[in-house]
Structure 1
Amino acid sequence: MHMAIRRIAILFCFTWFAFLCVPVTPQFWQELFALNWSEPGYSNLFRLAHYTPRIYPGPDTFLNWAAVAVIAFVIGIAWVLIGREKTGQAELLYYGVRALARYRLAVAIFAYGFLMYHPLLAPYPSLSNLNTAYGDFTRWKLFSLSLGIVPGYQSFLGLVQVICGLLLLYRKTASIGAFIISIYLGNVFMSNLAYEGGETVYSLYLIILSLFVLSYDARRLIDLLILQRPANPNTYQPEFPSHWLRAGRVVLKASFVLVFVLFYALSTREAFAADRYQFPAASGLSGVHGIYNVIEFERNGTAVPYDSVWTGRWRDVVFEKWPTVSIRSSRNVAIDSNNTEHFESDDRLRTYELEGSAGRHYYSYIVDPAKHILTLSNKNPHYKGETLQFVYSQPDESTLILSGNDFNNDNLKVVLKLRNKKYLIEEAKRTGRRGAIRL
């Protein structure tokens, strides 16, 4: 009876971890064929690397793990009852599932590691972010912005992950990589809990994989380093009796390194040099980048003072380097609370700048340079269909005049004056940490 329970436990672990690592759910294959492979790049590989088994539709939850565990338990019992287990099969299954876990974990670590090494994951704050009150950000957005202002530190964290990923590719160093990455991921998991991040389930998923990889040598490490007694070395060697199995193993490993290490690293480097990733890639209206004070505001021909109780009165306006305008007013903002990684090739769908942020309404815009017309569309998914259209003019380099209709069909005339504002973070970068700063 004891042996049967042990065999069921072994087969349960094998099946459960196999389901966690191997994409068998329809959701993965649907996403795989939905990706745009005509433009290969790091975004497609990241989506594949971010796979977790989904039994239930919607956001990832721990219920998916429970469902997979039930399936694995049934398979383990059935396997033992039909007596298909052979002598020495447990060792081979353990080796196989550990290899799956090593490479599955390495894929995830490389996916995030190279994004952070070329600081893309948490970009430097936009001008609109720098002009948003601290209390208007969610916890997650504050964490992301805090990481974005120190790209050197972000690159260091990415380098640690890449090194750990490389250690996972070799059996002799896999436990070292798993030990380091389990500590690293523990901090990521706690950060997601503390800052209400969207990767709580996924980070715990990777922690479990790293602990499983580490468990192979855990007993020997405890004996040697803690209990200070002799530890038996690992002597198991997988057998590949046929030539094609040995050659296939080498080809698969070389292909993995080529795709998930070399190609992915070059793709992220190219993106860092040529694309803003989180922000729209296109350039905005020339010569208007900056923050503007609203010195005059007319609604339907009537001047509206700055301290007006009408929530539609603009306070200030930011024109980004890309085609985004953000407007601060007393009008409430329904926060776009998305806090998970997503990649969009369409500039209009790149919404990182407004996610987790209140206090400003963000608009993408289209320019008709011949007619001097700006057409603004609210980027927040809570305000779909909200459109404003203005005729713009620039009497001088620091003044911008907008005349047109808002989403309520009110006629507006807005005079904007460029503000010569300095930022502590920018001045600190310019003068160095020990230099004097003047604002």
Structure 2
Amino acid sequence: MAVLDVPRSRSDAKAVSQVADWQPYEKTLFRFVFLYFAVQLLPLDGQFVRNLVATEGGYSRYVFNLSRYAPHFFGPQDSFLNWLVVALVALVGTIVWSLRANPSTNYDSLYYWLRVALRYRLAIGLIAYGFIKLFPLQAPLPSISNLNTAYGDHSAWKLFSLTLGIVPSYQSFLGGVELLGGLLLLHRKTATIGTLIILPFLGNVFFSNLAYEGGEYVYSGLLITFALVLFAFDAIRLFRLLSLELPTTPNRFQPIFSEQWQRYGRWTFKVAFVFFAVVLYGYSTYAAYRKGSVRFPQTPGLPGVAGLYNVSEFRIGGKTLPYSKTDPTRWQDVVFEAWNTISIKSNQPVRLVTTNVEQLAGADSERDYELAGSQGRHYYRYTIDSTNRLLTLKNANPNEAAETLKLAYTQVGNGQIILSGVAAPGVAGTQDSVYAVLDKVNKKYLIDEAAKAGRRGALKL
């Protein structure tokens, strides 16, 4: 064994001997903790392999998906039941280990390497989320459709995300705090300071997910357990020193790398981690931010038409329907986004998309943030046939994926657009003809006006 756990001086020898005096119950408890977190850290299911070999979506998406890995034994969604399975595996392993225990096992060394593994695993989790907050990608500014959806038509999670999205500077501040905590974990001497920053931060994330029905409470809880183990290493000494004001002996254990390849390998790993997980990932995330939100589609829509439109005239099967908030067929208003999304407000029920976990989607078809957690509007992605002036709309809701419309468009002028074509089942219940006159609304949004006011020092609505 080339890694030696030896004291560097006489005083160190005393300190190490004190730390090495493990009681039988401490050894048993440590075996369980060691095995439990070893199972949590090791790639034990196929999802890790799929994340490892995935290449689509760019480097930032690749690292982000890898950083979110945790063993799953029950379905695709994370669950506390997975923790129970891990605990049972660790319990069985503890029994076997205790029965076959080697008296010469160095538990100080095992404890040291467990903390090293937890430090880097926790660091990559914090850094991955920190950068998508620092460059506000996690919660983007609301779309026009989101701004024209009634407050009560949003789920609690969507309201939380939209509330965070309208204050990008605060989101960047949160990302900075998360990054600071993650970077402090990369050095053994600052790891405890890092956990003092991380624990209240992750606690807030955990309870926010519970309160707003987010899907990250299990994962954030897992990161909290990592941080608690790291903090526990110095917790009693800190309590004695700061609260009881008693003399406190520092922990002097430090592995000695006697082989040259071990010393170089240690620094090579640390430099590689910083380069790939901090420098390269940070640059990739910034580049993605410069291209636009990763939450919304990147395919451009009809040029110059983005905005809210009232439906002043609507016919179905040749029959004119007056404006109504209760008619499930009659369109009330239509939103054209800057990208290739049209959303239609009507009283027809929406089968809610319940996606509530953070993700960096690759293809446009995977980017469902604009419709997830929202009802009251029907979202369609469209393609443009500019020669025949034809829009082909496909429902973006995976629950209504078969619904399509083919609508001819005419831009009359003065912001008016006329759509005409055939409605597929799901819009009107039949394939009757559809005719809609859309009048653009010159609507100001407080979030946009506030941003302009910040540049010129005045707010006028």
Shorter-chain TM-score category? over 0.9
Distance in 1 (CA, whole Å) between partners of 2:63 and 2:233 is 29
Normalised TM-score (structure 2): 0.91
Distance in 1 (CA, whole Å) between partners of 2:274 and 2:331 is 53
Q: How many residues align?
A: 435
1:133, CA displacement in angstroms? 0.5
Structure 1 residues 275 and 437, CA, compared in 2 at 3 Å: closer, same or farther? closer
Q: In the alignment, residue 416 of structure 1 is paired with which amino acid?
A: L
> Can you list the C-alpha shifts for 1:294-320, whole angstroms capped at 9, x where unaligned?
011111111111027531100000000
In the alignment, structure 1 residue 91 sits paired with structure 2 residue 108: yes
Structure 1 residues 296 and 237, CA, compared in 2 at 3 Å: closer, same or farther? same
Q: Is the 8 A contact 2:327 2:346 kept in 1?
A: no
Counterpart pick for 2:33 among 7, 13, 21 = 13
Structure 1 residues 433 and 287, CA, compared in 2 at 3 Å: closer, same or farther? closer
Q: Secondary structure at the match of 2:257?
A: coil
> Can you list the C-alpha shifts for 1:154-212, whole angstroms capped at 9, x where unaligned?
00000111111110000100000011101100001110111010011011111111111
Give the superposed CA RMSD.
Answer: 1.7
Distance in 2 (CA, whole Å) between partners of 1:301 and 1:103 is 65
Q: Secondary structure at the match of 2:256?
A: coil
Q: Which residue of 2 aligns with 1:36?
A: 55
1:203-352 paired onto structure 2 within 5 Å: 203-307=220-324, 309-352=326-369
Q: Secondary structure at the match of 1:76?
A: helix
Q: In the alignment, residue 335 of structure 1 is paired with which amino acid?
A: L
Q: Secondary structure at the match of 2:421?
A: strand
Distance in 1 (CA, whole Å) between partners of 2:74 and 2:239 is 39
Q: Is the 8 A contact 1:136 1:357 kept in 2?
A: yes
Runs of 4+ in 1 over 6 A off after TM superposition: none
Q: Is the 8 A contact 2:325 2:332 kept in 1?
A: no
In the alignment, structure 1 residue 80 sits paired with structure 2 residue 102: no
1:22, CA displacement in angstroms? 2.5
Distance in 2 (CA, whole Å) between partners of 1:179 and 1:48 is 25
Q: Is the 8 A contact 2:119 2:191 kept in 1?
A: yes
Q: Is the 8 A contact 2:336 2:343 kept in 1?
A: yes
Distance in 2 (CA, whole Å) between partners of 1:25 and 1:82 is 28
Q: Is the 8 A contact 1:167 1:177 kept in 2?
A: yes
Q: Is the 8 A contact 1:193 1:200 kept in 2?
A: yes
Normalised TM-score (structure 1): 0.96
Q: Which residue of 1 aligns with 2:15?
A: none
Deviates more, 1:114-123 or 1:333-342: 333-342
> Can you list the C-alpha shifts for 1:15-56, whole angstroms capped at 9, x where unaligned?
1111112323333223323x126x641001100000111122
Q: Which residue of 1 aligns with 2:452?
A: 430
Q: Is the 8 A contact 2:61 2:362 kept in 1?
A: no
In the alignment, structure 1 residue 67 sits paired with structure 2 residue 89: no
Q: Which runs of 5+ in 2 are unaligned?
A: 1-21, 426-430
Q: Is the 8 A contact 1:106 1:166 kept in 2?
A: yes
Q: Is the 8 A contact 1:362 1:379 kept in 2?
A: yes
Seq. identity, %:
47
1:175-190 paired onto structure 2 within 5 Å: 175-190=192-207
Q: In the alignment, residue 236 of structure 2 is paired with which amino acid?
A: R
Deviates more, 1:330-339 or 1:320-329: 330-339
1:57, CA displacement in angstroms? 2.5
Distance in 2 (CA, whole Å) between partners of 1:397 and 1:346 is 35
Q: Which residue of 2 aligns with 1:45?
A: 63
Q: Secondary structure at the match of 1:294?
A: strand
Q: Which residue of 1 aligns with 2:19?
A: none
Q: Which residue of 1 aligns with 2:10?
A: none
> Can you list the C-alpha shifts for 1:213-261, whole angstroms capped at 9, x where unaligned?
1111111110111111111112111121211111111111111101100
Q: In the alignment, residue 71 of structure 1 is paired with which amino acid?
A: V
Q: Is the 8 A contact 1:4 1:80 kept in 2?
A: no
Q: Which residue of 2 aligns with 1:419?
A: 441
In the alignment, structure 1 residue 172 sits paired with structure 2 residue 189: yes
Q: Secondary structure at the match of 1:276?
A: coil
Q: Which runs of 5+ in 1 are unaligned?
A: none
1:77, CA displacement in angstroms? 2.0
Q: In the alignment, residue 55 of structure 2 is paired with which amino acid?
A: N
Q: Is the 8 A contact 2:184 2:193 kept in 1?
A: yes
1:436, CA displacement in angstroms? 5.7
Q: Secondary structure at the match of 1:295?
A: strand
Q: Which residue of 2 aligns with 1:118?
A: 135
Q: Which residue of 2 aligns with 1:131?
A: 148
Q: Secondary structure at the match of 1:223?
A: helix
> Can you list the C-alpha shifts for 1:267-291, whole angstroms capped at 9, x where unaligned?
0000000132000012111121111
